[in-house]
Amino acid sequence: MAASEPIAATADSVALRPPRSGLTPSSAVLIGMTLLVAFLALYPVGWLVYGSFSSAPPRQGGFLTIQNYINAASNPLIRGTFWNTIIFSFGQMVVAVAIGAGLGWIIARTNTPGRRTFELLSLIVFLIPGLLAVLAWTMLLSPSKGIINQLLMWAFGLEKAPFNIYSMGGMIFLHGVYLAPFTYLMITPSFVSIDSGLEESARMSGSGVFKTFWRITLPLTRPAILSTALFMFIIGLESFDIPQMLGAPYGIYVFVTQIYTTCCVQYPPDYGQATALSSVLLAAAAVLIYFYRRSVRQISRFETIKGKGYRVGAADIGRWRWLTFAICVVYFFFTVVLPLAIVLLGSFLRFFGKFDMEIFNRMTYENYIRVLAHPALVNGFLNSLGLAVIAGAVCVLMAAVVGFITIRTRMTGRGLLDGVAMIPVAYPATVLGIGLVWAWVGVPVPIYGTILILAVAYITRYVPIGLRTVSGGIMQISDELESASKMSGASWLYGFRRIILPLMRPTLAAAWLIMFLLFMRELSMSIILAGTGNPVASVVIFDYYSSGELPPMAAASVIMAAAMIAVVWFARSVLKISYSDLRVG
| Among 349, 364, 379, residue at a domain's last position | 364
Q: Do 401 and 340 fall into the same domain?
A: no
Position 10 in a domain: no
Position 439 in a domain: yes
**Residues 397, 400: Cα–Cα separation, whole Å:** 5
Q: Is the CB of residue 192 less than 8 Å from the CB of residue 108?
A: yes
Q: Do 415 and 338 fall into the same domain?
A: no
Position 177 in a domain: yes
Handedness of CA 194, 198, 203, 208 (dihedral sign): negative
Q: Do 359 and 430 fall into the same domain?
A: no
**Residues 389, 385: Cα–Cα separation, whole Å:** 6
Position 532 in a domain: yes
Position 401 in a domain: yes
Instruction: Kindly tell me the burial class for residue 199, based on how many C-beta atoms sit within 10 Å of its own C-beta (0-12, 13-18, 19 or more).
Output: buried
**Residues 551, 544: Cα–Cα separation, whole Å:** 9
Q: Do 169 and 236 fall into the same domain?
A: yes
Q: Do 274 and 300 fall into the same domain?
A: yes
Q: Which residues, other chains included, contact 452 with Cβ-Cβ below 8 Å and sequence gap of 6+?
A: none
Q: Which residues, other chains included, contact 403 with Cβ-Cβ below 8 Å and sequence gap of 6+?
A: 467, 470, 471, 474
**Residues 418, 405: Cα–Cα separation, whole Å:** 9
In 3D, which of 227, 229, 230, 203 has the Cα closest to residue 214?
203
Q: What is the rounded (10 degree) CA torsion for 73, 76, 80, 81?
A: -60
Q: Is the CB of residue 227 less than 8 Å from the CB of residue 295?
A: yes
Q: Is the CB of residue 135 less than 8 Å from the CB of residue 547?
A: no
State the CB neighbour count (10 A cutoff) for residue 6.
Answer: 5
CATH assignment of the domain containing 277 = 1.10.3720.10
In 3D, which of 88, 59, 34, 51 has the Cα closest to residue 431?
51
Enclosing domain of residue 379: 24-56+366-585
Q: How many domains does the chain have?
A: 2
Query: Nearest 5°: phi and psi at 110?
Result: -125, 170
Q: Could you please report the per-residue DSSP string of 333-359?
A: IIIIIHHHHHHHHHTTBSS----SGGG
**Residues 237, 255: Cα–Cα separation, whole Å:** 8
Q: Is the CB of residue 387 less than 8 Å from the CB of residue 458?
A: yes
Query: Each residue's pLDDT tens digit in the chain (585 positions)?
Result: 444 444 444 444 444 444 454 566 667 777 888 889 889 989 999 999 999 999 888 878 788 899 999 988 888 888 899 999 999 999 999 999 999 988 988 888 788 898 888 888 887 887 788 889 999 999 999 998 889 998 899 889 898 999 999 999 999 999 999 999 888 888 877 776 665 666 666 666 666 666 666 666 667 777 778 888 998 999 999 899 999 999 999 999 999 999 999 988 888 888 888 999 999 999 998 888 888 877 766 554 544 444 444 445 567 778 888 999 999 999 999 999 999 999 999 899 888 766 666 777 778 899 999 999 999 999 999 999 999 999 999 999 898 888 888 877 777 777 888 888 888 888 889 999 999 989 888 777 788 888 999 999 999 999 988 887 787 677 766 666 566 666 766 666 676 667 777 777 778 888 888 889 889 989 999 999 987 778 899 999 999 998 889 899 999 999 988 888 888 778 777 766 655 444 444
**Residues 202, 312: Cα–Cα separation, whole Å:** 15
